[in-house]
A and B are shown apart, each in its own frame.
Chain A
Amino acid sequence: MSLRRAPLTAAAFLAAGALLAGCTSGSAATPAASEPTGEITFWSSLSGMADVAAAFNESQDDITVDFEEIPNGANGGYTKLSAAIDSGTGPDVVGVEYYRLPGFAASGQVVPVDDLVPAATLDEYSDQVRGLVTFGDETYGMPYDAPPLVMWYRQDVLDAAGVDVPTTWDEFEAAARAVRKADPDAYLTSFFTNEPPLAPLAWQAGASWFGVDGDHWKVSIDDEASTKVADYWQKLVDEDLVKEQVGFSDEWNADLNEGVVNGWVGGSWSASGLMTRTEAAGQKGKWIAAVPPSWDGEPSGALSGGTSFAVTKNSENPAAAAAFLEFLTTDPAAVEARGDVGTAYLAYPGLNEVAEKVAPTGYFGNDIYQVFDEASAQVAPGWAWGPDYDITNTALVDAVTGAPTLGAALEKTQGATVDGLEQLGLDVSE
C-alpha cells in the first residue's frame, strides 16, 4: 500500500494533505500548574503541518516541536509509525486517521489523553466525533477534522445534460444516464476500485459496520442498508453509467482534465485535490459541491475520512505533547498557520470560520463551506470503526476486484473481517 500512489502522482499527496489541511487549533495558552517545557517530536502526513509546528514554536518559548513529515497511510506511514513506536523511536505527537485509531489504541501504541487535556476541551466536540476517538471509557486522541461526505459535480456538464443537482439516489442515476446520453464519452462520476467509497456510502444509508455488543464486537458489513448501496452501485457499473477505475491514478487525472469524468464521490477534503488536478484544464468555477443524495427523501450524511492527533507511548514528556496537541486541534492560530494548502473541515467548534477564510474557496462555483456545514449537520449517528480496520479495508479492496458483484464483495469482506478478528483472539458476533 505504501508504494501505491507514490509513482502515480504528486497530486494524490496534495489531496491527502488537503484531507488534513484545515484543522488546527489549540490552546497552548492553557497553563497547567507548572508549565510544561522541553522538546517534543511531531509526525504527520498532512501538508502544511510544518508551518503549524513553526507557528507553535514562535508563539511560546517553553516547548520546541520538531516536525517530521511521514508518508500517508496509503504509502506506508502507519507501517513506519507502528514499527517506530514498537522500537521506542516513535514521535511524541502523531496524526492518525479515525479508521486506524482503534488499532493503535488496542495495541497500546497511543495513550489516553483524558488526564492530559482539560475535560472541558474534550466536551466541546460533538458526540459523533468524540465517539470516534473514545474506546472503553478513555479518549485516545484529539479529533482534528470531521470531513463530511460531499459530492462534487461539474455544473456545466449537468447543465449540458439538462439535469439538476441530484437530491435523491434515483435522481443521481437519472443524471448519470443523462450525462452519458448528452456525451457518449462522458461519465457523471467514477467508482474507485482501489478505494471503494462503500464505507461512507453505507454509513450515509444508515448502516453501522462495527458496534460493541456487551463484551464483543458486532460486525455487520453485509447488512441490509450496505447491501442496498452495493447493489445500487453495481447496477450503475453494469449499465456503464459510472466509470470503474483506479482513483488518484494518472488515468483518473487525465479523465478529469478531459471531461471524461465529471464528478467525485469525495469529502470536504476533495476540494484542493480537485483544484490541483483540474486548474490547468481551465475548469475554474465549473465545479460545485453538493450534499449527498438521499435514499428516502430524508437528508442523511456521513464522514469521509478524518484525522485525530494522539500521544504515543514513547512520549517522555506527555504534558508538553498535550500542550501542543491542544494548540494543534483547537487554536485558530494553527488553522491560520496551515494556510491554504487544503479545505479542511475542522472538528473543534468555531474553527471553520477561520478555515473558510484561508481555504481556496474561490475556485468553486458555489459556497462550498456552506455545503460542508449542511452535509456535516446531517451525519448519521452511530457509526464506529472496527478494532483492526486494515483487515476489512484490504479484504474489501480485494473483493471488489475479485467478487462477481459488489454485494458479494461485502459478504466476502464480512467473512474475512470476522475471521481476521477472531484470529487475533477478539470476541466477534455477526
Chain B
Amino acid sequence: MTVRVDDSPQRLRRRPIRGTGGRTAALFLTPFFLVFLVAMIAPVIYAIGLSLFAERRSGLGFGGAEKVFVGLGNYADVLASETFVAGFGRLALYCVLYVPTLLCVALALALLLDAAVAKARRLFQVLLFLPHAVPGVIAALIWAYLYTPGVSPIVSALSSGGIQIDFLSVHMVLPSMVNVAVWEWAGYNVIILFTALQAVPREVLEAARVDGAGEIRAALAIKAPLIGPALGVALLFTIIGSLQLFTEPKILSTATTAVTSTWVPNMWAYDAAFNRNNLPQAAAASIVLALLAGALSWVVSHLTSKGGTR
C-alpha cells in the first residue's frame, strides 16, 4: 500500500484533500485520545513508576516511611511469591475449563439460532443476551446465593433428590465459577458468532444442500469453518477477559473460604494494595499481568489471523 502511494502522481495531487481528511480525523479522534491518555496511558506510566520504588519503614515503623528506589526488586518479589504464581496456576486451569466450554456453548447456540425460524430467532436472541445485561457483580451475587448450602433452592432440591453437592468446596468452586462466567458471557458471544453466520453466503449453503448435506452436516462442515475469523475474535476477547478474572472470585470469596484472598493474580494485586498496603508490589503485579495479557493476545491474534487467511 505504501509503495503505491509514493509512486502515484495522481495521489500527490489529492494530497490537500487527504490533509483535510487528516485534520477532520484528528478533530474526531482527539476526545478519544485525551480520555485514553488520562484514563489509560497516564495510570500505566504512573504504575510503572510506582513499581520501581518501595516504601521502607525502619525499626518499629512509627517513624514514618521512606521511599527508596529498588529497580526491579518488586518484580522479583512478586514473581518469587508462591501465592502469586499459584494464582496463575488457577487462572490457567480456569481458562482451560472456561474458554472451550464457553466457545462450544456459544457456537452451538449460534448455529441453532441460525437454523431456527425467523420469528423464534429474534426472541431467542433477546433471551440469550439477557444474562449479559445483568452486571457482573450482580450475577456473581445471585450465583453465590444459589450455591450456598442452607439457603439455595438448587442445593436443597438436589439434596432432596439424593444428590449432595457442595458447589463452594475447594474442588468444586472453580467449575462453579466457570458456570457463572459461561452464563454471563455465552449470550454475548452468541451474538458475535450469529452475526458472522448471517454473512455466510447463502449460495454456498444451497450448493451444500443440493449435494445432499443435512442441517447438521451443513452447520458443522460449512458454517462453522466459514465463521473462523469471528471465532478467533471471540477467542481473543474471552482469553483476555479470563486473565482479568476478579469479580466472580471476589464475590464468591464472601460465601466460601475456598476462595482465598490471593486466589487469582488480580486478587493478589488487590490484596497487596489494600490489605498489605504495598502499592509498589500491587503495581508490579498489575504490570506483569498486563504484559502477559498483551503477549497472549498477540499470540492468539497472530494464530487466528493466519488461520483465517489460509
Residues of chain A at the chain B interface (Cβ within 8 Å): 1, 3-8, 76, 79, 82, 103, 105-108, 135-136, 193-194, 212, 215-217, 246, 249-251, 254-255, 387-388, 390-391, 393-394, 397-398, 400-402, 420, 423-427
Contacts and interface: CB of A to CB of B under 8 A. Distances in A.
B60 A7 contact: no
A399 to B, nearest CB: 9
Contact of A246 (B257, B271, B278): B257
Contact of B276 (A1, A388, A402, A426): A388
B301 interface: no
A29 B118 CA distance: 78
A251 B274 contact: no
B172 to A, nearest CB: 14
Contacts, number: 117
Contacts of A193: 257
B141 interface: yes
A394 B261 contact: yes
A8 B59 CA distance: 41
Q: Is the interface of B mostly helix, strand, loop or mixed?
A: loop
A398 B260 contact: yes
A1 B257 contact: no
Contacts of A388: 61, 276-277
Contacts of B254: 3-8, 249
Contacts of B277: 82, 103, 107, 388, 390
Nearest to A393: B275
Contacts of B274: 1, 76, 79, 82
Contacts of B61: 106, 217, 387-388, 424-426
Given A108-B64, A424-B61, A426-B59, A251 B150 contact: yes
A251 B149 contact: yes
Interface residues of B, number: 41
Given A246-B257, A249-B255, A251-B151, 4 more contacts: A249-B254, A387-B62, A401-B257, A427-B58
A397 B255 contact: no
B223 interface: no
A246 B151 CA distance: 13
Contacts of B150: 250-251, 254-255
B309 to A, nearest CB: 45
| Residue among B54, B58, B77 with max Cβ neighbours from chain A (10 Å) | B58
A88 B21 CA distance: 46
B251 interface: yes
Given A390-B275, A391-B276, A398 B261 contact: yes
A107 B151 contact: no
B221 interface: no
A424 B277 CA distance: 9
B258 interface: yes
A343 to B, nearest CB: 26
A312 to B, nearest CB: 16
B145 interface: yes
Given A3-B254, A250-B151, A394-B261, A426 B278 contact: no
B60 A387 contact: yes
Contact of B77 (A217, A246, A423, A425): A423
Contacts of B64: 108
A229 B62 CA distance: 31
Contacts of A249: 148, 254-255
